[in-house]
Structure 1
Amino acid sequence: MRPLEATHGDLAPPYRRSSSNPYEDDPKDASTRYLPLYKAVDGGDLEATKKFLDQHPDALCSSLSTDGDTALHIAVLAGHVDIVEELVGRMSALELAVKQRYGSTALNFAAIGGVTEIAELLVEKNRKLLEIPNDHEQIPLVVAALYGHRDLVQYLYLKTPIEELDPTSKNHGAILLTACIMDEFYDIALDLVQRYPLLAIAEDTDKDTALHILAQKPSAFPSGSQLTFWQRWTYKCIHLDPQKASLIASGDIEMPHEGPPHRRSFTKRVLHRISEAFWKGLKLCDKLEAVLKKALFEAVKQGIVEVVTEIMKHYPEVVWFYDDKDRNIFFVATAERQEKIFSLIYKMGAKKNSLATHWDKDFNNMLHQAAFLAPSSRLDRVSGAALQMQRELQWFKEVESVVQPKYKEMINSHFKTPRALFSDYHKKLVEQGEQWTKETAESCTVVTALIVTIMFSAVFTVPGGYDNSGNPIYLNQNSFLVFIVSDALSLFSSTTSLLMFLGILTSRYREEDFLQTVPTKLMVGLSMIFFSLATMMITFGVALFIVLRDRIAWVSFPIILLASLPVTLFALLQFPLLVEIFISTYGPGIFDKPKKNLCPSGSTRSSTRCFR
């Protein structure tokens, strides 16, 4: 959707405040006489407002600005509840429905401001205000939804006649539905689409359907949410009672005082029900393919696998849909680097071969799509240019395993093979990856060199010193043995880390090196420096313990506490990168490929061969 001001063709603010005192330009204008009232209402001065209206009753419904705003319009837009209450008490129901220059009633202004108390005062006096649209044909409920005022939308939704939202007569329902989905008011969207299933395929003034807007909300789905391990575990442990799945019992509209339920659990249930209503409405649609295609390719670009699989479940033919560049969903998934969508190709059976042997208008096959540089929004999810290059190589290798062998050497309209195209588009990323890796290695080399120096010298300056025969004084104590072992481990691991980082600084950087060689060196170097730092702190702590234990018995506790601080800090700063490198290089991979059976069942002969 476009920004709110341009949304639905028309949400240009219906109120445009003129210069400080617009009516002063025309001294003969009647509004000049009511300037004190304007200032009192706009400034929230209730007593001054009462006094002026008592002296000038005719000012109550008079225009106070060149935009035709009455005192009530000004008070509502300023958000002064007490003044609005006073003005509503003095006015008749008919006078509340007065429109200003741009066709907005006071309730339309209340929908913009989002103050529910003001809306309640106006609706209690005149319920017809709920049905009066502005010049953009938007009723107050729609305006409140477009501005994202949840509490006010809930109130107005309960009060507005449901017939106003019927898609067969007016467009209010379609705009409200898309706005609610965009604002994540899924409880209202669910109730609305259950009442009028045709809204599922109704277009708003931007020609967007609810399914298309839903396909733009990756944050509403598990596949589009970047959650840590503990967050995913938490959400899996949250369950709601299915008996409370109805809207009324959910505590969102009919029972707002109960508060909203857990967002993600409720969203998952709501979206499932909305999708069911969508397909009921789509069956009645005469432009089914156009509606599905727009939503399908949007969901593919956003990586919302739930929407794609839901569409494929109800309409399997969508796998043969093509976009304006003549690309199917797997081509688009490859170009947009949406691995969860691409992994669906492994479930296509024999259709996989046909889907993979296609090309677009520029004669780019699927491997050409993987050769283009990934969108920056996808690359930025990976730490460092080196790992970004690794991810690009993983994509290229994966797609290469899917296409036919001859497609690897096929040229496009620019006479480029997939490999040549990959090199052209990733030349800068290779340079950035080399620079990032060397800068990381240089920083770590300084640290490891210091650790090597300290640990080497610590062997010759043992705590307590030496006796006359040259043996360490505490040689026979267990704590001294811990000191020597931890010192040796720290020295050996830091030396290994130093050699590994020196290897990174002196090695060449080909494209293929970023797939496994460079990440492995980084992983070994970082893990060794972490281990050497931990053992160095152990060495230092034991040395202090040996020297001070006879004088301060409780010295071990603060030593352990202080020694663990730098180790913990290093772990918090560098350990996530180490884990990411390990998972990216030796983990299960980003693609959800079916597991291969080591011994396929079928015949006794094949089973015997496998057993042997």
Structure 2
Amino acid sequence: MKLTRSYALELLQCISNEISAIPDLEIAKKGVDLAFFNAIEHGIIEIVIEIIKANPSFLACQYDFQKSTIHAAVRFRQEKVFNLIYAAGKWKYLMISGYDEYNNNILHLAAMLAPPNRLAHISGAALQMQKEIQWYKEVESIVDPSYKLDLNHDGEKPSELFTNSHKQLMEEAEKWTKGIAHSSTVVGALIITIMFTAAFTVHTQDSGYPIFLHKKAFKVFITADAVSLFAASTSVLTFLGVLTSRYAEEDFLKSLPRKLIIGLSTLFFSIAGMMIAFCATLIIMLDGDLKLIIPTVLLASVPVAVFIFLQFPLLVDIFISIYGPGMFDRKMEYLFEKDPSFA
């Protein structure tokens, strides 16, 4: 695969050398513009960069209903191509301006629902909705405020078009989020009941003094029980907050994902604490019989491993979507730093 990629880059370099020699009037006849916009649609950033380096006028090139490179990048949700706007220098404002055949400006394009293939690789309808809002907010931050008041042929402002085109995704995102919150609330409530009961069922003397108070395993049990109980309580309260949320568009940007992070994280700690408390109790009861203790501890780790396998990837995705580096990079000048035409 590395060898194939190497050959492809060499071929691309040869093609870009030929493109640089083609007059602007001959570009459409040679089909270069079609290849260029196909590369944008599929997010093949290497081809886009090489063609732009060969002929910077491609930044303002038009093809079919797309106004320019950045308009196509927004419509097809190709963030790597979109990031080129920050490295385009004097071409930046020329690329942003303009309307398509339906009088949609670039903010209208950001308000449209992303192509299905771009949403498919995002886990969960709530994260898909978050990604769409991030796109809209990012484009909104680089355009003139007057763009937000423009009307297309259907008489819709960008914000109105966003709401109308994302109605179904909003419903799916709300249903998806409530499903996770409801299921997790049930699990958390069960853990609270179990751990609260377990804390007061330890063996005691007639005086009420715990028999195993001086054993290390008993101290581990009490600590793990308390951690599990408090974590489960926090998780349930957090997910109750998710269930009672108003589910507005803005909530999917940060508020709901943050609540999901807190809820899932504390639920994980509560499950882990419950298993530790269970193992500590068995150690006390079996009085150090390793033949029974070791297999039991290994079995107790299965629920924790299952939770990590099923929910941890989702937790990581949510965390990255909020606190990660983000999909928009405003420091891509290095792509054209050796080309004076982009100064």
TM-score (normalised: structure 2): 0.92
Question: Alpha-carbon deviations, 1:41-66, whole Å to 9, x = none?
Answer: xxxxxxxxxxxxxxxxxxxxxxxxxx
Tell me the equivalent position of 1:527.
Answer: 265
Query: Greater RCO between the two (CA within 8 Å, min separation 6)?
Result: 2
2:32 aligned with 1:292: yes
Cα distance change on mapping 1:376 and 1:579 into 2, 3 Å:
same
Q: In structure 2, what is the Cα distance between the partners aligned to 1:467 and 1:280?
A: 89
Q: Tell me the CA shift for residue 472 of structure 1.
A: 1.0
Partner Cα distance (1:337, 1:285) in 2 = 29
- Please name the residue that 2:222 is paired with: 484
- SS of 1:569's partner is helix
Distance 1:285 1:356 in 2: 26
Structure 2 residue matching 1:350: 3-state secondary structure: helix
Are 1:346 and 2:86 an aligned pair? yes
* Corresponding letter in the other structure for 1:504: V
Deviation at 1:288, TM superposition (A): 3.3
Matched, 1:418 2:155: no
Matches within 5 A, 1:114-125: none
Match of 1:334 in 2: 74
Is there any run of 5+ residues in structure 1 with no aligned partner, and where?
1-262, 596-612
What one-letter code is carried by the residue in structure 1 that aligns with 2:162?
F
Cα deviation for residue 341 of structure 1 reads 0.7
Per the alignment, in what secondary structure is the counterpart of residue 237 of structure 2? Answer: helix
Give the match for residue 287 of structure 2.
549
Residue 573 of structure 1: CA displacement? 0.5
The reply to whether residue 373 of structure 1 matches residue 113 of structure 2 is yes
The question of 1:393 aligning with 2:133 is answered yes
Report if aligned partners of 1:357, 1:404 keep a CA contact under 8 Å in 2. Answer: no
- With over 3 angstroms needed to count, the CA separation of the structure-2 counterparts of 1:323 and 1:459, relative to structure 1, is same
Percent pairwise identity: 47
Match of 1:591 in 2: 328
Question: Deviations 1:522-570 (Å, cap 9, x if unpaired)?
Answer: 11111111110011100000100111024x2444422331121110111
Shift of 1:276: 2.6
Deviation at 1:280, TM superposition (A): 4.6
What amino acid does structure 1 have at the position aligned with 2:227? L
Q: CA deviation at 1:326?
A: 4.5
How far apart are the structure 1 equivalents of 2:152 and 2:52? 30
Counterpart for residue 496 of structure 1: 234
Shift of 1:357: 2.1
> How far is the alpha carbon of 1:470 from its aligned partner?
0.5
* Preserved contact between residue 362 and residue 413 of structure 1 (Cα < 8 Å): yes
Asked whether 1:574 is paired with 2:311, we answer yes
1:456 to partner: Cα distance: 0.3
Match of 2:9 in 1: 272
Report if aligned partners of 1:312, 1:318 keep a CA contact under 8 Å in 2: yes
Structure index of larger Rg: 1
Which one of 203, 209, 233 corresponds to residue 471 of structure 1? 209
Cα deviation digits, residues 335-356 of structure 1 (max 9, x gap): 1111111011110123212211
Structure-1 residue corresponding to 2:337: none
AA of the residue aligned to 2:267:
I
Alignment of 1:217-232 (within 5 A): none
Q: Does 1:435 align with 2:175?
A: yes
State how 1:133-172 maps to structure 2 within 5 Å.
Answer: none
Q: Deviations over 1:56-92 (max 9, x none)?
A: xxxxxxxxxxxxxxxxxxxxxxxxxxxxxxxxxxxxx
State whether residues 466 and 473 of structure 1, in contact with CA within 8 Å, keep that contact through their aligned partners in structure 2: yes
- Per the alignment, residue 111 of structure 1 pairs with none
Q: Do the aligned residues in 2 keep the contact of 1:498 with 1:525 (CA within 8 Å)?
A: yes
Task: After TM superposition, give the deviation of residue 279 of structure 1 in Å.
Answer: 3.5
TM-align CA RMSD: 1.6
Tell me if structure 1 keeps the 8 A contact 2:66–2:72: no
Q: 1:435 to 1:459 in 2, by over 3 A?
A: same
Check 1:351–1:278 CA distance in 2 against 1; reply closer, same or farther (3 A cut).
Answer: closer
Give the TM-score, by structure 1 length: 0.52
